[in-house]
Structure 1
Amino acid sequence: MSELFKNIIRFVLLIFVQVFILNNIMLNGWVQPYLYLLLILLLPFQTPRWLLLMIGTATGWIIDNFMHTPGLHAAACAAIAYLRPFLIGMLAPQGGFEDTTRSPSPATMGTGKFVFYAGMLVLIHHVIYFTLEVFNFQATPYLAMKIVFSTLVTLLLIFVYGLLFFEKRPRRR
């Protein structure tokens, strides 16, 4: 299966899961899981920045339309799409990743680097999104707790997604 076809299927399924399942989950007002961020996180290493920005903004815009949040997801997704190449560059080995046509995953980056990569981008997204959503500095403790708990639950969902769908790294003997 081609990488483009795989990404289109992933796009449709993750948007569907986000809109019809995860958007209906809000645990006591503290946790809002956003698994759709994988659409940006799992694009191939070689994806040009202009395309990342277009995909990130379009993805955020689609989620904004379903959630009736005027531009909040689009802004946060555009920001992580812009920052993604910098973070990948920081985490890449000296010669770069072996196959740039592949996507970031624990198998291509290593588990620790992938967790850091996903964690940083999810945290940045949540800081931007929830700060714009709350937009009240008197609610800083509430905002901080919402960011932390939502980030942790989103990373847990990414981990579960990884157990189900990421390719396995071959074992060394």
Structure 2
Amino acid sequence: MTKLLLENILRFILLILAQVFLFKNMGYYNLVIPFPYIMAIMLLPVRISKVLLFIIAFLTGLTIDAFYDTLGIHAAACVTLAWVRIIFLNLTIQDDDHDSISPGIDQMSFRWFLIYTFILSFFHHLTLYLLESFSLNNILSTLTSILFSCIFTTVLIILFELIFYRRKKR
């Protein structure tokens, strides 16, 4: 349990630092902006308390908001991500013996993790970009940014997960 806690804290710190110092300045004409920091929320253990999950998501979003000078947009998007995560996990994981697993390629299948990552990333980006634009004037541009940023973020998260991939322990 201590190893899992330390692993999640280290992952959280590294992803926040990478987002703030590396990925904040990466983008393609504000059309594609990666947000791989959401991986910190996505890879939390499956049976984490819902209240704790929402608190961690909110604090993660607030941390990013502090560096991006946004007023709670990332916090709202991270809370939306936590809500969709709970729904997705309840729909796809039926067993109660998954107490100590984290949703990752090493615990689940590649296909499951790809769908999981894309759906959670999509809802995060949808909330983020719609709150950021807060208008339907340029809806086509906003939807294009949502789709391309979601795809780029999903690819980055899959690459990060494959780099740290561990085989199932049988």
TM-score, normalisation: structure 1: 0.93
Aligned to 1:113: 112
**Structure 1 residues 38-92: Cα deviation after superposition (integer angstroms, max 9, x where no partner):** 0110000110110000000000000000000100000010111122121011111
SS in 2 for 1:138: coil
Matches within 5 A, 1:85-164: 85-92=86-93, 94-96=94-96, 98-164=97-163
Q: Quick one: distance in 1 between partners of 2:32 and 2:103?
A: 26
Q: Which amino acid aligns with 1:61?
A: L
Give the whole-Å Cα distance in 1 for the aligned partners of 2:30 and 2:85.
29
Q: Secondary structure at the match of 1:64?
A: helix
Task: Report the equivalent of 2:8.
Answer: 7
Runs of 4+ in 1 over 4 A off after TM superposition: none
Partner of 2:79: 78
CA distance in 2, matches of 1:112, 1:55: 26
Gaps of 5+ in 1: none
Q: Distance in 2 between matches of 1:99 and 1:88?
A: 11
> Which TM-score applies when normalising by structure 2?
0.94
CA distance in 2, matches of 1:42, 1:166: 13
Within the alignment, does 1:34 sit opposite 2:31 as a pair?
A: no
Give the residue type in structure 2 aligned to 1:133: E
Quote the Cα distance in structure 2 between the aligned partners of 1:169 and 1:139.
46
When the two chains are superposed, the root-mean-square deviation of aligned CA atoms in Å is: 1.5
Residues in 2 aligned to 1:17 and 1:95: alpha-carbon distance in whole angstroms: 34
List gaps (5 residues or longer) in structure 2.
Answer: none
Instruction: Determine helix, strand or coil for the equivalent of 2:137.
Output: helix
**What SS does structure 1 have at the residue aligned with 2:123?**
helix
Range with greater deviation from structure 2 (15-24 or 156-165): 156-165
Using the TM superposition, give the Cα deviation of residue 112 of structure 1 relative to its aligned residue in structure 2, in angstroms.
1.3
Residues 1:64 and 2:65 are matched in the alignment = yes
Percent of aligned pairs sharing the same letter: 34
Q: Cα–Cα, structure 1 residues 166 and 11, in superposed 2: closer, same or farther, change >3 Å?
A: same
